[in-house]
Amino acid sequence: MGGLINWVELRKSAFLLAHRFDACSALFWDNRAASFNQNTENMKNLTQLQLKKLNLLPQHTLLDVGAGNGRITIPVSKCVKYVTAVEQSEQMLNLLKINAQKEKINNISFINKSWDELSLLKDVFPHDIVIASFSVFMVDIENALLKMDAVAKSSVTIFVSASKWLDEELQKIIYGDVVQIWADYIYIYNILHDLGILANVEIDNFMSTKSYLSLDDAVKDFLNVHKVSSQKELKIREYLCKKLTEKDGKLWLNQNRKMATIWWTKNQ
């Protein structure tokens, strides 16, 4: 039952303003799969932090929604009976399979579909634990969350950003002003509440690290991800010159970020 604030519509407005619905498509992740995979090693601290949040047991079955290249999928597969990885991007899923083979992991099954189009009981069966790691970009977020709840026998854990989507300096470059877009977890928590799911939330700090081969590569990445016009390229370049640091022949973007762990158990 909804409250005075329509959190679903607020989220849609924020996503449209920031062009974040692009991340709902398989093509978006197909195009970013290679660079994402190369950056996985830089995200080890985040991965370890997330693993500590999951109370995994050897007898558990786990469903990973939006598994990507397996950054979380592969580590959790070493802790549970088996994992089902749902990933709409064929390129991401291929990398997941390759990464699993490298580590001799054989307890992962793969589903190459978006969470929106996946049918419960037909495409996937109930699992003890359902997780989604920075992957809740679904257009129909209410149905997506209810589907996660329905397929979980024990618990659901969602990892989302608790930081601003963009810092204020970057917002002014892209939008001309500071805009009212809250951190992702604000929308997800309140939508869950309106759906009658009383979730828990915990906030942790982590260092987001990404490397680039050159300043041109970094500028190109920012222009593509944030849908910035070429007219603002110079300002993006100036912004990145202040943010990037050089080490080991690469340029590094290190940002202090916050992660929200949102979780609930089926007996709450």
For residue range 208-234, what is the model confidence (pLDDT) as tens digits?
999 999 999 999 999 988 888 889 999
Instruction: Tell me if 198 is assigned to some domain.
Output: yes
In a domain, 242, yes or no: no
pLDDT band at 17 (very low <50, low <70, confident <90, very high): confident
Residue 15 lies in a domain: yes
CA distance 69 to 91: 8
**In terms of residue numbers, what domain contains 80?**
7-209+257-265
- Residue 229 in any domain: the answer is no
- The number of folded domains in the chain is 1
Calculate mean pLDDT across residues 69-80: 98
Q: Is residue 250 part of a domain?
A: no
What is the C-alpha to C-alpha distance for residues 25 and 182, in angstroms, rounded to an integer? Answer: 22
Geometric angle at alpha carbon 183, from 199 and 255, rounded to 5°: 120
H or E stretch including 14?
Answer: helix 7-17
pTM: 0.93
CATH at 66: 3.40.50.150
